[in-house]
Amino acid sequence: MCSPAKHVPEIAIGFHDTREFKELPARVTEIKNGLKNARQFLTDNKKAVEQSGDDCLQQIKTLRLQLNAVIDRLELRTISEIEKGKSSVGQKIQADVNMIDDVIEKLHKFANDSNTEGEKNEASSYIGFTKCDDMIWNAKVLLQEIQNNGSYKMSLDPYKGITEYLSSLEMLGEVICERGEKPLPVPDHVFEVEKHVLHNVKLADDKKVCNIAGTCKLATGEFLLADNNNLKIKLIDINYKVTSSCDVPEYPIDVCLTGEREAAVSVNKNSEDRHEIQFIRVRSGTLLETRCIKIPHRCISVTHYEGSLYITADTALHVYNISSGQDRQLYSDETGKCTVYKCAISPDGSRIYITSWTSHQLITLNKDGTKLCTLTHSELQHPYGVHVTSLGHVFVCCGLNTVVQVVRIKDGKQSVKPLAREKEIFTKPIAVCFNSSTGTLLVSLYENDNIVELQMKH
């Protein structure tokens, strides 16, 4: 019933020259990065559980002021339940973390053994490749399980009428430990739009129609919007309502986060040959201008990564070190105007994405400015804003009134998938930002008082 058997040395002849063997290190690196992202997610979730548990304890202290002498017994019982919940959830999360560490270690060992032992023996290379391939498959299954399970959270649901029923209660409230509703999307997840919602961001004192040229998300879930026409930075809350604003010089084009509560805004006034980076701080719901850096060239897009600002200048990408003030050119394209327009950086800093408006292309660079690939596609007509999520998903706004997601196809090549088109939702999208808290995509439009929230299918 079996096909003719062959010896491994015979099968492995020429294996070192195969694409599968040569691509093995890249595949290992890819899955390791995915595992590390998942590990960070779990670690952050564990800290969030600790914090939410501490918040519950603070609730207890607030309630304690309203209770009588019986509160001592109830408080001790409730604290004990919270601590047990924190411990139980922490152990479950740590078990997942340990499992990821074990898989990463095995992947690293398999990859090293395959390359070391297989230098002289192709049979060993083939066996090592097979084992590593199986391990990569198992790692993907593990990633999917962790991401589908979502995250834990803790909260305290105080009993109603507690002062009346105090003596008959066992605890102050029910301690709840449960996972969140939204799973973490895998790095190669392809999104689909379920519906869209429009949010008006025009203020009463705005003299012109809004033109939100840049967007960034704060750690608190709020967003900063750069209104190019009205010369303002606007703060919107988690419900997309404008809660504060501040005036900035002519003309703001982009905004990016540089700290937990600080952002950088690129400003240009070509008639005066003035180019600046204006820093804005969010304090108690108010926006404050703090400092300004003069730049000797145009400032279109501004992106922050590890203490440096990546600034595009129409035909070049510059890196400006905030601490030292050093400015160096990382990449240039003098073949036309707007060839280096907007940019975004992957979470690990290994890839820099640049939209070439005139060439209808998305350029991918490594951290040294070397071009890795050029994506050309019929949907990439006049690409404008580009955004990378914390897990590496890439979104681009295009002049064909389309928002697309950059996806990988066979052989590691890139392609695009349209998420929303003109007739369905909007015209002239120019900036896009992913809301990881809700799993939605926020899109701003050229000269439009509305921003669009794209809600994704789950």
Locate the domains of the chain by residue range: 8-179, 193-456
Cα dihedral sign, 42-48-50-53: negative
Does residue 183 register a pLDDT over 60?
no
Q: Which CATH superfamily is domain 193-456 in?
A: TolB, C-terminal domain (2.120.10.30)
pLDDT at 253: 94
**15: DSSP letter:** G
| pLDDT, tens digit, 9 for 90 and up, residues 50-96 | 888 888 888 878 776 766 566 677 778 888 888 888 888 888 888 88
Give the mean pLDDT of 223-240: 94
| pLDDT, tens digit, 9 for 90 and up, residues 95-123 | 888 888 888 888 777 777 666 655 557 77
Give the mean pLDDT of 256-276: 88
Tokens 């290994």 sit at which residue? 350
Range of 103-117, 258-272, 331-345 with top mean pLDDT:
331-345
| pLDDT, tens digit, 9 for 90 and up, residues 282-324 | 887 889 888 899 998 999 999 999 889 999 999 999 999 887 7
CA 62 to chain centre: 36
The residue among 416, 411, 415 whose CA lies nearest residue 397 is: 416
| Residue 425 three-state SS | coil
In degrees and rounded to multiples of 5, residue 451 shows phi and psi of -110, 155
pLDDT at 303: 96
The residue among 353, 357, 407 whose CA lies nearest residue 382 is: 357
**Sequence letter at residue 310:** Y
**What's the whole-model pTM score?**
0.61
Give the mean pLDDT of 364-388: 92
Average pLDDT, the chain: 84
Name the more confident of 437 and 380.
380
Does residue 166 register a pLDDT over 80?
no
pLDDT at 16: 83
